[in-house]
Structure 1
Amino acid sequence: MPELAEVSRIVHFIRKHLVGKTLSVVQAQNDDIVYGKVGTSAAEFQKAMQGNKIIGAGQQGKYFWITMSKAPHVVMHFGMAGWLKIRDADTYYYRTTKAGDSEWPPKHWKFLLETDETPKTEAAFVDFRRLSRIRLVDCPADDIRKHTPLKENGPDPLLDKDIFTAEWLTNKVKSKKVPIKALLLDQANISGIGNWMGDEVLYHSKIHPEQYSNTLNNEQIIQLHKSIDYVCTTSVDLLADSEKFPEEWLFKHRWGKGKKNQASVLPNGNKIVFLTVGGRTSAVVPAVQRKTGPVAKDVTSDNESDNATKTPANSKRKRTNVKKEDEDEDHAPKRAASKRRIKNEDEAPIKKEELESPNRTSGRRRSARSTK
């Protein structure tokens, strides 16, 4: 699903194409999950937006918002498969060649916006999986982060550099006994880091994702802080365009998993293996990410390097799981994407409530993006 970098991309395009413009036409598709789960209705959204002027956009981790000339404002997250499309703009962070992805209005839309200028700007929020959330927040624009759901989430590594310091991270990491990957994914700790970003951060930190957080030493945590800043800053500066990511990044070489006769390896020959940590598939380079302390469970995967410690077959393994993910508060990793951009190994199965979507037309995951 979209993580901090991908959400930053869409905020960039909102600012570029929508900020400063008045909405002349607003249509909202009734959905008692996408709107209703967070106490909003499509009718309320449409009434609040119609004729209102967009004056700004912002982000905290995986959440983003659009501020209006008068309250209420709109706070959203994309869930597993949501996105905001702007007609004739290259908003998506991956490519697609599907003919249907260029149609307008797009399938599975939740709201459509048109501005009053000539030529007009058109935007659409889409989500066939119905795991995204759209809510109205009635407060001054500067107070949005003081309200649910943002106030329940941890600091944003880029937005909150005054809070997200090496000292703060040290205290947070040492205060918990969970796999470090699970700690990074929990949005109550840090806003915005999902599956691929967590793997990239731990790879650059040379930390094994299963190691208990409270067993990391100060030097490792300082490096972890530096790696979080590096991965977040670089990916945001590049607008989440993975084709422009540094060639040495784990991200550029991890996607061989599951492909016939294609192993996942780095250019230097180091093998990439895949583990489940905190309920998420994790890409790991055992030659680099050594275990330096106790872990939640040892690796038994056939493709694990001999450098990893194996647990005897007759011993009991303790499983440490992250708390059950709440669809609204969004502790899940990012959604899948097509071959030229960001992908996801562990997309959740389609649920019954998704099949009952009022505008669902097929069971397949939609890889939607306007083509140039």
Structure 2
Amino acid sequence: MPEIAEITRIVHYINKYLAGKGIKNVVAKEDPIVFKDTTSSAFVKAMLGKRVVEAKQQGKYFWIEMDSPPHPVMHFGMTGWITFSKAPEAHYRADMAEEDDNKEEIEWPPRFMKFVFEMEDEGNNVAFTDARRLGRVRLIDVPAEQIRKVSPLKENGPDPVVDGLDEGWFRRVLDTRKKPIKALLLDQGFISGVGNWVGDEILYHARIHPEQYSNTLSDAQQKQLYESTMYVCKTACELLGDSSKFPEDWLFKHRWGKGKKGNVLPNGEKIDFVKVGGRTSAYVKTRQKATGGTAVKGKAGGNDDDSGEEKKTGKKRKAIKEEDDEDERDETPVKKGKRGRKPKIEDGEAKTPAKRGRKKAVKVEGSESEQEEEEESEVEVKKSSRKGKGKVKEEMVVNGKGGADTSTGTGTPSGRRSSRPKK
């Protein structure tokens, strides 16, 4: 999932290529899930003819300030991104940038497009894409200076880079919350923008076990955690999320490798994985020892012999066979449903089999839980009544009018599929 650094990258490129320019044409795909509290036709009508002032961010959210309300506020979810026709290098994946060096090979609009802005300068187009439809596009009808004071942004905590973090406030929160520290870092109501890999990187540099309770950290650990949070977030944002430029001593450089020897640091230290707060965390047990209470039953403070393995009824938790981190999931996953069935892929988008009678609770808007629970529960499920029949057609909205159905191969040609990220 794009986190604070990747959003900084997008904001940078929006300001570079769109700021000060007018939108001469808007194309949007009808999608009641991605377009939150609005519709694609309303979005087209609201954006057509507007002029872009600048882009800004708060953690994982970003918005484009227009010359008049409403303003689009966006969140990428797990697989969302913005593609620039004039800047393929804007993608945060190095492998994607290399593939797109030859701009003549880029097909437009890109696959999984949700909306496209065609700017007044010829050939300058941008597209919001989302393979799994977990991103959100909203229209906020308030003056630009009020955007952060309304939902979904008002529920979020401070952005470490944009707002900075007061160390005294930061440490008081740690003292008053009894929560595994990794789970607290992921809470967007505490700090905006920290996702899975950023949280792991912070704890790695702070030498703190991801399962240790936040209120058991010593004064020295609190100070180190604060400094590591600021260091990792600022460094990653200054580098615009370009992982090829991250320092060599970062955990990020070594956590993704898979092989017979598993994930290891250059010195041979093993990288282990443990699920904290429903998310898979990477950590190095030889460096990140629990010095206080943890969320693992039966583990005494300071004894980290079984780090990364929860104990249930006297038995160790089964070893994690696959990295559960959302950053490693394919953009169009194929997951087995009941009785080994695989979800259908209609119009280039994954459709997951529905589960009868089960719904996940949606928590506070704008929080990490909202983006995981709501996103998974809201994914639209469409089934064909008969094999080979019932194919869903998705209509395009062009300048507020219905247009060609690109899913059937007519109208504007779709682009190529994105490859799986290489970490």
Q: 1:139 aligns with which of 139, 142, 158?
A: 142
Give the aligned partner of residue 367 of structure 1. Answer: 418
Are the counterparts in 1 of residues 157 and 188 from structure 2 also a CA contact under 8 Å? yes
Instruction: Report the identity percentage.
Output: 49
Are the counterparts in 2 of residues 27 and 112 from structure 1 also a CA contact under 8 Å? yes
**Higher RCO (CA 8 Å, separation ≥ 6 residues):** 1
Are the counterparts in 2 of residues 195 and 334 from structure 1 also a CA contact under 8 Å? no
Give the aligned partner of residue 17 of structure 1. Answer: 17
Q: Does 1:115 align with 2:114?
A: no
CA apart distance, 1:355: 5.9
Are the counterparts in 2 of residues 110 and 126 from structure 1 also a CA contact under 8 Å? yes
Q: For residues 302-323 of structure 1, what are the alpha-carbon distances to aligned partners after superposition, in whole Å with 9 as ceiling and x for unaligned?
A: xx97374987764599xxxxx9
Matches within 5 A, 1:1-372: 1-35=1-35, 38-89=36-87, 90-94=89-93, 95-96=95-96, 102-117=106-121, 119-161=122-164, 164-256=165-257, 259-297=258-296, 306=305, 308=307, 314-315=313-314, 329=366, 331=368, 353=380, 367=418
Are the counterparts in 2 of residues 156 and 192 from structure 1 also a CA contact under 8 Å? yes
Helix, strand or coil: the match of 1:111?
Answer: strand
Letter in 2 for 1:105: P
Are the counterparts in 2 of residues 78 and 133 from structure 1 also a CA contact under 8 Å? yes
Q: 1:358 to 1:203 in 2, by over 3 A?
A: farther
CA apart distance, 1:43: 1.1
Q: CA RMSD in A?
A: 3.3
Q: For residues 61-98 of structure 1, what are the alpha-carbon distances to aligned partners after superposition, in whole Å with 9 as ceiling and x for unaligned?
A: 00000000011111000011110111131111112377
Give the whole-Å Cα distance in 2 for the aligned partners of 1:263 and 1:295: 25
CA apart distance, 1:366: 5.3
CA apart distance, 1:260: 3.3
Q: Aligned residue pairs: how many?
A: 341
Give the whole-Å Cα distance in 1 for the aligned partners of 2:377 and 2:106: 24
Give the whole-Å Cα distance in 2 for the aligned partners of 1:309 and 1:42: 45
Give the whole-Å Cα distance in 2 for the aligned partners of 1:191 and 1:81: 19
Q: 1:312 to 1:235 in 2, by over 3 A?
A: closer
Helix, strand or coil: the match of 2:57?
Answer: strand
Give the whole-Å Cα distance in 2 for the aligned partners of 1:166 and 1:8: 23
Moved more, 207-216 or 164-173: 164-173
TM-score (norm 2): 0.73
Give the whole-Å Cα distance in 2 for the aligned partners of 1:195 and 1:143: 29
Helix, strand or coil: the match of 2:292?
Answer: coil
Moved more, 201-210 or 326-335: 326-335
Are the counterparts in 1 of residues 274 and 309 from structure 2 also a CA contact under 8 Å? no
CA apart distance, 1:276: 0.5
Helix, strand or coil: the match of 1:80?
Answer: coil
Structure 1 unmatched runs, 5+: 318-322, 336-347
Q: 1:46 to 1:349 in 2, by over 3 A?
A: closer
Are the counterparts in 1 of residues 274 and 308 from structure 2 also a CA contact under 8 Å? no
Are the counterparts in 2 of residues 129 and 350 from structure 1 also a CA contact under 8 Å? no
Are the counterparts in 2 of residues 299 and 309 from structure 1 also a CA contact under 8 Å? no
Give the aligned partner of residue 340 of structure 1. Answer: none
CA apart distance, 1:107: 1.4
Give the whole-Å Cα distance in 1 for the aligned partners of 2:39 and 2:229: 37
TM superposition outliers: structure 1 runs of 4+ over 2 Å: 96-99, 304-317, 323-330, 332-335, 348-352, 354-361, 365-369
CA apart distance, 1:324: 6.1
CA apart distance, 1:182: 0.2
Q: 1:126 to 1:309 in 2, by over 3 A?
A: closer
Give the whole-Å Cα distance in 2 for the aligned partners of 1:350 and 1:309: 29
Are the counterparts in 2 of residues 84 and 126 from structure 1 also a CA contact under 8 Å? yes
Letter in 2 for 1:215: T
TM-score (norm 1): 0.83
Helix, strand or coil: the match of 1:157?
Answer: coil
Give the whole-Å Cα distance in 2 for the aligned partners of 1:165 and 1:289: 25
Are the counterparts in 1 of residues 296 and 311 from structure 2 also a CA contact under 8 Å? no
Give the aligned partner of residue 339 of structure 1. Answer: none
Are the counterparts in 2 of residues 286 and 305 from structure 1 also a CA contact under 8 Å? yes
Are the counterparts in 2 of residues 10 and 91 from structure 1 also a CA contact under 8 Å? yes
Q: 1:184 to 1:56 in 2, by over 3 A?
A: same
Give the whole-Å Cα distance in 2 for the aligned partners of 1:309 and 1:296: 11
Give the whole-Å Cα distance in 2 for the aligned partners of 1:326 and 1:366: 33
Structure 2 unmatched runs, 5+: 317-359, 384-391, 395-405, 408-415
Helix, strand or coil: the match of 1:126?
Answer: strand
Give the whole-Å Cα distance in 1 for the aligned partners of 2:64 and 2:281: 33
Give the whole-Å Cα distance in 2 for the aligned partners of 1:333 and 1:206: 29
Are the counterparts in 2 of residues 194 and 334 from structure 1 also a CA contact under 8 Å? no
Larger radius of gyration: 2
Letter in 2 for 1:137: I
CA apart distance, 1:102: 3.0
